[in-house]
Amino acid sequence: MKIFHFDPPFLLNLHFQSPMARKENQTIIITDKYQMRTWARTMRSLSNTIALVPTMGFLHDGHLSLIQEAHNHSQLVVVSIYVNPSQFAPSEDLSTYPSDFDGDIRKLMDVPGGVDVVFHPHNLYDYGVESAMDCAGMPDVSCLEESGSGHETWVRVERLEKGMCGRSRPVFFRGVATVVAKLFNIVDPDVAVFGKKDYQQWRIIRRMVRDLDFSINVVGFEIVRDADGLAMSSRNVRLSPEERQKALSINRSLSKAKSAAERGELNCKRLKNLVADEIQEAGGELDYAEIVEQESLEVMEEIKSPVVILIAAWFGKVRLIDNIEINI
């Protein structure tokens, strides 16, 4: 992979050819949102289709599988790497979220088909103003508001963001929906690929796209797991060996619940108890276990249609999420 930093006259010429005619693995790194928009508009004017894979970096094989999936849907692939402050509360792990941009670039070099652009903005909320707000008495404040960026416009998917991760992380989904809407406006993709490990997030983005008439196909890609069954996550690196062994109870509990449902146990309370017992006996602290309808995310009492079991649990100071679909 050849890495170029954005130089409009030269690097746009790299893409005047069809994607198949270009040299393999030529990647542009763009850090400015206006230059990113210029590149995207130029590519679209040349009748190229664009797929976006939004990430927060510290890439693992799960992310790389999303990029490979993106190649199945478009001619050009953009990977964004941006740790979004608006989805973190001040008490959460923004400052310790793992980061290794050089390592990410090395991993992208090995992706079959390559990556056309890495969009790595420093700050998507820099409006050239200093307007720190008084957050005293505000119940749900993000790191972005506390920093005083002047940003005050939010995208909310009001019903789907309630419950589960929205209950324990009240600023999370408005921050996710807002930054994804910003990325969609900047990159203007035809397709966006998200991992279904973050199942509630994936459904929220699909609903936002539907409700706000984004002309974007939001593709959900299946969970990628390590050999031991743990769902791949950038936060896994913070688990101690002992905590990782305990965390394997998540996948075990999901598999047991799915097997029980397929054998005829359709009572959601009993299935959730099975999940909770498995995780707590292993030494994890359950945040939630819910069984919901796959599209509406409505909590179910009995399985009568396709559902998904969603779990969040703490192992030490690391919070992990996972899920499994049940199609009965």
DSSP string, 229-263: SPBP-GGGGG--HHHHHHHHHHHHHHHHHHHHHHT
* Helical axes 268-281 vs 241-262, angle rounded to 10°: 160
CB neighbours of 114 closer than 8 A, spacing ≥ 6?
1, 24, 25, 26, 27, 77, 108
Listed residue (93, 89, 81, 222) closest to 166, CA to CA: 89
Residue 76 CA, chain-centre distance (Å), reads 20
Is 63 a catalytic site residue? yes
Q: Which of 5, 15, 60, 63 is catalytic?
A: 63
User: Position 199: which residue type?
Assistant: Y
C-beta atoms surrounding 112 within 10 Å: 10
Please check whether residue 14 is in contact with residue 26, taking contact to mean a CB–CB distance below 8 angstroms.
yes
DSSP string, 79-136: EEE---GGGS-TTSSTTT----HHHHHHHHHTSTT--SEEE--S-TT--S-------T
Listed residue (196, 219, 236) closest to 323, CA to CA: 196
CB neighbours of 60 closer than 8 A, spacing ≥ 6?
232, 233, 234, 236
Q: Which residues are catalytic?
A: 63
